Structure 1
Amino acid sequence: MNRDLEIVYVGQICLSWEILYWQYGKAKDLLEHDPHEYHTYNQVAGEYQQFQVLLQRFVEDEPFQGPRVQNYVRKRCILRSFLQVPSIRNDRFKGKKGGREEEKDVISIVKLGEVIKETMQVFWEFLRADKREANLALKGVQGTQMDNAEIELFMNVKLDFQKKERKLKDVQRSGNCIVKKFQKQQERRLSHSLFASLVELKLVSRVLSLPRLRRDHLVWCQRKLSNINVAGRKVSMEQSFSLFPC
């Protein structure tokens, strides 16, 4: 039962990130179609801020709530929307520019993009607070019968993970972004591609920590890692919506 719940939890955080990353891209696309920012997004901005608050409270209370997976299950029983990313939608269409100037605290698509970016940062802190690390030994797949092809796949994923992890750390050091530990002020200076790659790598690490890894889990990890490219100090990441196989 606990193993099944852990897969559900891991599947949810992977899905939350996929949607969050996609919504951030959608906000940028909407700006191109609404350059004068006639539409407002106050309601959905408030929902994203509430999303942030729930994650922050979860992390703050976690030391007193026991293991993360069980804590997550209890939270979802109380609040079904926990970890569900809000969908972008506008409040209304402004036909006159003058009416807009009379309003206060209007959230434009630009401001909404900033709110979503801040939400991504809070989500990153939520992921980092989960101390489960990748188990890169074959004992990490205990309880699962693996054939030679699956063992080879596991080893390839392991090597690629270690390679990408090392390269990203080198980029961080060369960019003088991190000295000893991650600091919020420093992380905000990271390029978007580097930041997104760090999140993806953390998710892969969390999947590899599952007590029972399946072949489709390894294929998912392999696909995620293949999207991260590091050439010298330049980091790029191909955007692809990839659902985690629960």
Structure 2
Amino acid sequence: MESDPYETRQYNLVAGEFQQFQVLMHRFLENEPFQGPRVQHYIKNRCVLRNLLQVPVIKDDSRDKIGVRRRKDAITCSMLLVIIEESMRVFWDFLRSDKDDNTAIWKGLLSSHVELQDPADSELLLQVQTILQKKERKLKDILRSGNCIVKKFQKSHEERSDQLVFFSQVDLKLVWRVLNMSRLTAEQLVWCHKKLSKINFVHRKIHVEPSFLPFPC
């Protein structure tokens, strides 16, 4: 998207996919109170919910169809960014509403029964867990300071610092969930390490390096 500074491209197709992503997430959350544990609910309905966590690939419409004419209702990259941020907020609600581990991340609780595909990765696992816990504490200190409030970002897009707090919360929660999987591969641990390396705290301010880190299979 940075390669389109003059907003000459249109993103209607992927915008529609992100909106569908939001709809599926909303429906899941609306039905969840009437279902059992989240994992069992997902497994039981995996055929219907197979696209629930499939994040759309960001690409402009012209890559799908040669000679696409610019529509009057064209979605520009800045408009798409707003839609993506809304999708992240919906996804954050999805993560936060997990009643099975809702508060564990802020208590620093990590599973002690992780099976490693390669036992030699135990040192890397310990290193990633330590980094995660340190960054959780630093983020928690910033939230307590009152300088950055997530609720403020949820109401407005004006403060860049609030956006970074929100994005950091989502990323840390994702890493925490990965580290609590029953079985981990070296590729997944490396992914967690790289994800954490993009989040840094300097003088009680958050610095997040932009990156695209698809989760390894």
- Establish whether TM, by shorter chain, passes 0.5: yes
1:170 deviation in Å? 1.6
Scaled by the length of structure 1, what TM-score is found? 0.67
**Is 1:185–2:154 an aligned residue pair?**
yes
Q: 1:90 aligns with which of 56, 61, 83?
A: 61
Pairs within 5 Å for 1:156-195: 156-178=127-149, 185=154, 189=159, 190-195=161-166
Residue 47 of structure 1 corresponds to 17
Q: Higher relative contact order at CA 8 Å, sep ≥6: structure 1 or structure 2? A: 1
1:186 deviation in Å? 6.0
Q: 2:81 aligns with which of 86, 110, 113?
A: 113
Secondary structure of the corresponding residue to residue 77 of structure 1: coil
1:161 deviation in Å? 1.2
1:182 deviation in Å? 5.7
Query: What whole-Å deviation, never above 9, does each CA across 1:145-170 have from its counterpart, x for those lacking one?
Result: 985x5443333222211110011112
Scaled by the length of structure 2, what TM-score is found? 0.74
- Identity score, percent: 49
Pairs within 5 Å for 1:140-151: 140-141=113-114, 150-151=121-122
Query: What whole-Å deviation, never above 9, does each CA across 1:70-109 have from its counterpart, x for those lacking one?
Result: 3223444125433222333337333xxxxx7xx5x55333
**Is 1:212–2:180 an aligned residue pair?**
no
1:201 deviation in Å? 0.6
Give the aligned length: 203
Query: What is the root-mean-square deviation of aligned Cα atoms in Å?
Result: 3.2
* Greater Cα radius of gyration, structure 1 or 2: 1
With over 3 angstroms needed to count, the CA separation of the structure-2 counterparts of 1:185 and 1:239, relative to structure 1, is closer
Residue 110 of structure 2 corresponds to 136
List runs of 5+ in structure 2 lacking aligned partners: 63-67
Asked if the contact 2:117/2:185 (under 8 Å) is kept, the reply is: no
Asked if the contact 1:194/1:236 (under 8 Å) is kept, the reply is: no
Q: Could you tell me how far apart the structure 2 residues matched to 1:65 and 1:79 are?
A: 14
Residue 65 of structure 2 corresponds to none
Residue 28 of structure 2 corresponds to 58
With over 3 angstroms needed to count, the CA separation of the structure-2 counterparts of 1:58 and 1:79, relative to structure 1, is closer
